[in-house]
Structure 1
Amino acid sequence: MSEPLRAVLGEDQIIVREGIASILGRADIRVVAAVDNAVDLVRAAKEQNPDVVITDIQMPPNLEADGLLAAQEIRAAQPGTAVVVLSQFLDASYALDLVGDDPSGVGYLLKEKVASPQVLTHAIERVVAGGSALDPDVISTLLGRKRAKDPLAVLTPRERDVLALMAEGHSNPGVAAQLFVSVPAVERHVTGIFTKLGLNEAGSGQHRRVLAVLRYLKQ
């Protein structure tokens, strides 16, 4: 029997903090520390070395993006710890700041979606496994951005759909289920994405997947 995942939780509103802790407990995710400010969050992550850190963005001491900055610090110091950031507002720039140069092990969710417990627990499972879990609304915002020179202009609309779902953290079967197509069809689209983005010689399939997602997020 596998050990339950260990989590450190950062949230300054006690009702929200206890609600999230309850959701995690029911999913057999053990909260080893729950704090209400960014300074203690970094300290708890260092002391507990959890599988995942879940944190709000706006937290004491400054009630600004302290939680996001703490998450970035934790990612840099403890690359083996996954991070899920919860945001009250849709701000794609926060997601890009969190992702940095590597989207693996990162989740960014809107708080309103966490009302559905499975959204949070599935996101945690993805990021702990080394994937990403970015809110679909954030992905839609990024997709809607227009640039004079779009490096993804070579992709077909369907390939863009596939890449957007990859950025959310879906596997090939997950993408197939979302688009109502077969897994082999998705695999062909993924191969096309790698080829058009010049990633065929970029190492393993998982590494190319990460590079493709990163290129998409930073387009």
Structure 2
Amino acid sequence: MTLRVVIAEDSLLIREGVERVLSRDPELQVVAACADLPELLAAVETHQPDVVVTDVRMPPTSSDEGIQAATKLRASRPSTGVVVLSQYAEPSYATMLLAGGSAGRAYLLKERVGEPGQLVEAVRAVARGGSVIDPIVVEGILADSMKRRASPLATLTPRERDVLAQIAQGKSNAAVGETLYLSEKSVEKHISVLFAKLGLESTPEVNRRVLAVLLYLAEQGG
């Protein structure tokens, strides 16, 4: 059975490269090649493809249009597979892509375009309802997960994290309480517990606040 494919990529060179790779397979038919998200969505309506191969970033905003397309298609055309191509081994893109389920979804680095067998197999896999994630991206997801588990902040409750976020803004206990609708005594209790969880019990009060804030900012990338 011939699989109908729509390609979306704003770089002409890469778009033509992807089309050339896929067109070599007699079981794949490229029915449209687009340069942005509106063109892609229009092409899907017109050609009703089995699979969409899309860049993760493209006009109009060059942010996460490929992920947006995959999300829209899961709702409007759940049987259409989506292969997202990216030059970024970024775990967050992959997790967003798989947030609604992994069936019929693939996330590959663009370097795989130079490995025709992998790209073609990914197209076939998502058409069958399967899933393919680039091994390098999987490594990144695992490393990111391990990092989160290793972080001492992972032991904090959501409320304790809220309190710490307010402390990081330089607020006093009273100000934290006003913002979070807590009594000052409750704020003090939360702070005492989060200090203990972060292993900061043996240092003076002022230093503990500073160290807790530094841990928080380090996790936030600030």
TM-score interval (norm. to shorter): 0.5 to 0.7
What secondary structure is seen at the aligned counterpart in 2 of 1:30? strand
| Equivalent position of 1:23 in the other structure | 21
* 1:148 CA displacement: 3.8
1:113 to 2:109 alignment: no
Query: What TM-score, normalized by structure 2, do the two folds share?
Result: 0.63
1:36-185 pair list within 5 angstroms = 36-144=35-143, 145-146=145-146, 147-148=148-149
* 1:69 CA displacement: 1.1
Structure 1 residues 148 and 22, CA, compared in 2 at 3 Å: closer, same or farther? closer
Gaps of 5+ in 2: 151-222
Query: What TM-score, normalized by structure 1, do the two folds share?
Result: 0.64
Rounded to whole Å, the distance in 2 between the matches of 1:68 and 1:111 is 15
Q: Which has the higher helix share?
A: 2
Count of aligned positions: 147
Percent of aligned pairs with the same residue? 41
1:14 to 2:9 alignment: no
Rounded to whole Å, the distance in 1 between the matches of 2:149 and 2:91 is 19
* 1:71 CA displacement: 2.2
Rounded to whole Å, the distance in 2 between the matches of 1:148 and 1:64 is 28
Rounded to whole Å, the distance in 2 between the matches of 1:46 and 1:129 is 21
> CA RMSD for the aligned pairs?
1.4
Rounded to whole Å, the distance in 1 between the matches of 2:62 and 2:149 is 36
Letter of the 1:23 counterpart: V
Rounded to whole Å, the distance in 1 between the matches of 2:62 and 2:108 is 19
Rounded to whole Å, the distance in 2 between the matches of 1:32 and 1:46 is 12
* 1:136 CA displacement: 0.5
What secondary structure is seen at the aligned counterpart in 1 of 2:83? strand
User: After TM superposition, what 4+ stretches of structure 1 lie above 6 angstroms from structure 2?
Assistant: none
